[in-house]
Amino acid sequence: PELAFELLLGRDDLLESFPQLKTTHIGLTLEKLIVDEERRLVLILPKLPAAKEKRILQTLPAALGERWSARASQLMQATHGRMVAQIPHVFRDAGQHAELQEMLERSVREHSATSEMLVWLCAERNDWRELINPELLAAILSALEREQHSAPGRASKLQRLLMEDRQLFQDMFGNADVGLARDALRRLQLSPLFDELTKRSLLARIVKVFPDLENMIAGAQPQEKAALVVSWSSLEKRKAEYEELVKKKIPENIKEIALARSYGDLSENFEYKAAKQMQAVLARQRAELEQALQNARGTSFENPDTSRVSIGTIITVRDKASKKQETYTILGAWDGNPDRHIISYQTAIGQALLGHKAGEVVALPNGEFEILSIEPAPVDIPAPEAVSEAEPASV
């Protein structure tokens, strides 16, 4: 198929250079060939010279119409760095920058971005500042875990970038809150990707931005086993996620791998590679959920200490500058709902408020606030099966 593209592009170049020449195959156009080979473009394009690959990508909107952006997004998820770098220009030229940004945000958020995409994003981060945050580090670690699964022992371009680009951590964490930095630190501590010396070097880069977290490196083992206070309802949701993962998603993935393997020729089997990558993602999700459930301790937030801000309380505060009042409900680690001003005790605001009494002034990320009142939050009624468990968070 790649030869057909090369011949067709060569013919078009010849016709452009010599207008007196005429083709006898008027219906054979680049647009038609793209439509005919649409599903195999991910395999064809990397085999073409860069200039011809670029011309084909630039023709996608004209050839595929409204579905071109979906196909371009799929191509950008490929493991071919040259194509990953070219496709954003096509989105830009088509005036669809917002659609590309949405795809990138989703890929980072869902940790599905490929190593090549992440290398490109880090290299071009001055143009994508809103995507350079702690979630990007989580996506990078997930991609490295998939790489380690498929090619163990081989240092990748993404891994070298993470270790050598010392400014990257400053850019990712410079505007982050301490809660996100703490979560990233924990994940790095638990990661099997790096030797101890490399891991400490990466941890130190986060601590350089958040010096108060240095004690987490010194006392890594106690921090890893610290219990998480969670509501019964959020605990049940996490258990349901775990059950679905173990009983549905992982078995389905095993079937997909077997089916894709049956197609043969694994070197060019896109379905097989995609299923194997998903296997690594599911394995990571399972390990993370098991660790979280092991550390979690369920509570109903009944009878909280309202003499000071504590977990399970509703706090009304007043901005010292604007006099505007705000209310926060501080609940468990998995109970955040910013739209309703429900926050986890692990967030920057939660950590700043905990332990303070009514009448005290507290410095929050968005200014100085006086605590006006502290009241108990509604009790979280546990499910019957949750109450009967001796170790509520153990799976």
- The domains found in the chain, sorted by start residue, are 1-95 (no CATH), 113-225 (no CATH), 228-298 (1.10.287.180), 313-379 (3.10.50.30)
What pLDDT is recorded for position 269? Answer: 63
Look-up of token digits 């940004």: 101
- Ranges of residues in the chain with a pLDDT under 70 are 24-27, 79, 149-155, 218-226, 264-269, 382-395
What pLDDT is recorded for position 394? Answer: 34
In sequence order, which residues have a C-beta less than 8 Å from that of residue 190 and are 6 or more positions away? 224, 291
Q: Within the chain, where are the H helices?
A: 2-17, 30-36, 41-44, 50-64, 68-76, 81-93, 97-109, 115-123, 134-150, 157-164, 167-173, 178-190, 196-209, 214-218, 220-224, 232-244, 250-262, 270-295, 348-353, 384-387
Q: What element of type H or E holds 370?
A: strand 367-376
Nearest Cα to 115, choosing from 152, 72, 160, 73?
A: 160
Render pLDDT for 180-217 as a digit per residue (tens, 0 to 9): 888 888 888 877 788 888 888 999 999 999 998 888 77
What distance in Å separates the CA atoms of residue 328 and residue 330, rounded to the nearest whole number?
A: 6
* Contact indicator for 313, 330 with CB cutoff of 8 Å: yes
What pLDDT is recorded for position 391? Answer: 43
What pLDDT is recorded for position 136? Answer: 92
What distance in Å separates the CA atoms of residue 84 and residue 80, rounded to the nearest whole number?
A: 6
Nearest Cα to 6, choosing from 35, 45, 39?
A: 45
CA atoms within 13 A on the CB side of 126: 2
- Global confidence as pTM: 0.52
What pLDDT is recorded for position 223? Answer: 42
Render pLDDT for 241-292 as a digit per residue (tens, 0 to 9): 999 999 999 999 888 888 877 776 656 667 777 888 888 888 888 888 888 8
What pLDDT is recorded for position 149? Answer: 62
